[in-house]
Structure 1
């Protein structure tokens, strides 16, 4: 498998151990706060989130992956608590996202359309799970807006496309 970190974090700001040295936002809860002299707005947050989703789509297309399977689904809280938590960000949560939060289960298949909704829940740390297509692609989305992708073939031909949408690709295959 080829292993990549695909994130908004510029690797030139990492030290020799890989620690990110620049102060930057790491979650939806940072909307309204200021980082490096710029306030994180709902619009700029969503633009970054859209970039992550576009990257997943680019990789799925490149690898000819028709869907992704989810396993080991973990919700961050009860639905009632989830509704309370997201009140502050209501315009970022569609009815479809709420329905997914309530009804998602192991072995569900995510089409490209569903990837949009589901991976936003992962990026927002509302849900955790394994996301994969057997023997071709695994997507790991964790805390602090970190995303790793493991693939069956190198992503070299599409790395420039991913970088064009504002993300950085670091190859950990070697």
Structure 2
């Protein structure tokens, strides 16, 4: 079975989906009874310069939060002994017509060489995470030998399947100012 087929099967398997953990930047106390986030919060790099709860989202604040996600993934890779991730699925339509700016030049250059099935060494994992968070690409990252599956949804929702104990994964997220399964 090809890796893309395995991922597609997993994504359609409701029982498997229930074993995924959600990690986010959103405070759990600001979810309503229906599991919807009701806080005034930024959700995209394009929100830089806009105000949320009376505070401007600056590039520095954006990069700080982005690095929380990157460091969370790097800690998970370290704890699981993972040396690489494989791009199990890739959509890169959003790369078309992207303006090259100082903040995205390295990322967009790296993105041009990406393909499904490609292994990404741990040194390049931060680049692909940033590409996903900035919505330049949608990628499902896996390491089947380590039982690891990572993907990003809209609005900075990160989904992780791992063999790590729940408490350990929760601690990793918390160490990087992120929240674990905020909807309870």
Tell me the number of residue pairs that the alignment of Structure 1 and Structure 2 aligns: 166
| Equivalent residue in structure 1 for 2:134, among 119, 124, 132 | 124
Instruction: Please give the alpha-carbon distance, in whole angstroms, between the structure 2 residues aligned to 1:153 and 1:78.
Output: 34
8 Å CA contact 1:7–1:146 kept in 2: the answer is yes
How far residue 158 of structure 1 moved from its aligned partner, in angstroms, is 4.6
Asked if 1:37 corresponds to 2:54, the answer is yes
Asked if 1:113 corresponds to 2:128, the answer is no
| Equivalent residue in structure 2 for 1:77, among 90, 94, 113 | 94
User: TM-score, normalized by length of structure 1?
Assistant: 0.87
Q: Structure 2: state its 5+ residue gaps.
A: 1-15
| Equivalent residue in structure 1 for 2:165, among 119, 141, 154 | 154
Q: Deviations over 1:23-57 (max 9, x none)?
A: 10000000000001110000000000000000001
Aligned to 2:63: 46
User: TM-score, normalized by length of structure 2?
Assistant: 0.82
Instruction: Please give the alpha-carbon distance, in whole angstroms, between the structure 1 residues aligned to 2:114 and 2:25.
Output: 27
| Equivalent residue in structure 1 for 2:75, among 58, 61, 68 | 58
Kindly tell me: are residues 152 and 171 of structure 1, through their superposed partners in 2, closer, same or farther at Cα, counting changes over 3 Å? farther
How far residue 74 of structure 1 moved from its aligned partner, in angstroms, is 1.0
- Backbone CA RMSD of aligned residues: 2.0
